[in-house]
Amino acid sequence: MKTKILVAACMVILSCGALCRAAGTEEQHRITVNGDAVVYAQPDKVTINFGVETWDNSIAMAKKKNNDIMNRAIAAVRKLGVENKDIQTDYLNIEPRYKSEYQKQSFLGFFVSNTMAVTIADPGKLEELVEKLLGAGIERIDGVQFQVSEFKKFREQARELALKAAKEKAEKMAAVLGLGIGAATQISEGYSGWSGWGSYRQAMTQNVVQEAPSGGGEAPGTIALGKISVRASVSVTFELQ
């Protein structure tokens, strides 16, 4: 009886060892690859930040000068069909300044800085908007940001292309070794986002590019709309066959 029990125990141990080796072998027969993609989309709205700084020995007069310019700028913006919800104060600062700030000597006056952010639904009107703002007395354009309303749709396109890129890479790498790939066992997503400013930089090691259909021409004058690049990155593990 003891002999039978001992033999059975040995068989169990051997079975466990075989399973562990099999699991280890299965783990070794896998390949993990990264896939990246970028989809270019035509911007359909733009946000511009602009501002002005005024000063006077009287704080009330310094603020009034600033208000007068900003009111003219807002009026010009509204003439382009921009709604109040798309006009927002971004920064406001009122401070006394001195020639020597440390010792508070030689008073220069009260300075009022005001910055606003305006979003327009037609990027083609950006050039006209800038001209009207400068004509209203705005002395500073702080930045322009191009945007895409249907960002989610383009991100999903980029993600799908990234997955296809990962599969293609795995197939080619496996083929070099005389192998094929099976089912995907693990998928994870890396960076997924966008960049604008008319940039066409491509710095990805595995990159798939698809240009989205354009929806309009470029803005006239010195402002080029360019396209927004929507990027996606994935990591996929496949079984090797």
Give CATH for domain 45-147: 3.30.70.2970
Q: What is the pLDDT of residues 105-136, one digit of tens each?
A: 789 999 999 999 999 998 889 999 999 999 99
Sign of CA dihedral 143, 146, 149, 155: negative
The answer to whether 29-43+150-240 and 45-147 have equal CATH topology is no
Evaluate if residue 209 carries a pLDDT over 50. no
Return the closest-CA partner of residue 194 out of 17, 30, 78, 41. Answer: 41
Residues 6+ apart with CB under 8 A from 183: 238, 239
| CB-count burial class (<10 Å; 0-12, 13-18, 19+) for 85 | exposed
Q: What is the C-alpha separation between 172 and 95, in angstroms, rounded? A: 64
pTM check: above 0.75: no
Please say if the pLDDT value at position 198 is more than 80: no
> Is the confidence at residue 159, as pLDDT, over 50?
yes
Establish how many alpha carbons lie within 13 A of residue 202's alpha carbon, considering only the half-sphere containing its beta carbon. Answer: 12
50: closest CA among 123, 122, 136, 110? 136
Q: Higher model confidence: residue 229 or residue 1?
A: 229
- pLDDT greater at residue 88 or residue 105: 88
Over range 202-219, report the average pLDDT: 35
Domain ranges of the chain: 29-43+150-240, 45-147
DSSP at 213: P
- Going by C-alpha positions, the residue among 35, 9, 28, 53 that lies closest to residue 17 is 9
Q: Residue 210's pLDDT band (boundaries 50, 70, 90)?
A: very low
CB-based contact 126:219 (threshold 8 Å): yes
Across residues 32-39, what is the average pLDDT? 94
Q: Out of 3.40.50.720, 3.30.390.30, 3.30.450.30, 3.30.110.170, select the CATH number for domain 29-43+150-240.
A: 3.30.110.170
pLDDT of amino acid 203:
29
Return mean pLDDT, the chain. 80
pLDDT, mean of residues 19-28: 50
206 pLDDT above the threshold of 50: no
* More confident position, 36 or 207: 36
The pLDDT value recorded for residue 28 is: 62
Return the number of other C-beta atoms located less than 10 Å from residue 202's C-beta. 11
pLDDT by residue (tens digit) across 38-81? 999 888 899 999 999 999 999 999 999 999 999 999 999 999 99
**Average pLDDT of 16-31?**
57
Terminus-to-terminus CA distance in the chain, angstroms?
Answer: 45
Q: Which of 7-16, 40-49, 127-136, 231-240 has the lowest mean pLDDT?
A: 7-16
* Residue of 55, 51, 53 whose CA lies nearest to 110: 55
* pLDDT of res. 105: 79
Contact criterion met (CB below 8 Å) for 115 and 142: yes
Higher pLDDT, 9 or 27: 27
Do residues 236 and 36 lie in contact, with contact meaning Cβ atoms separated by under 8 Å? Answer: no
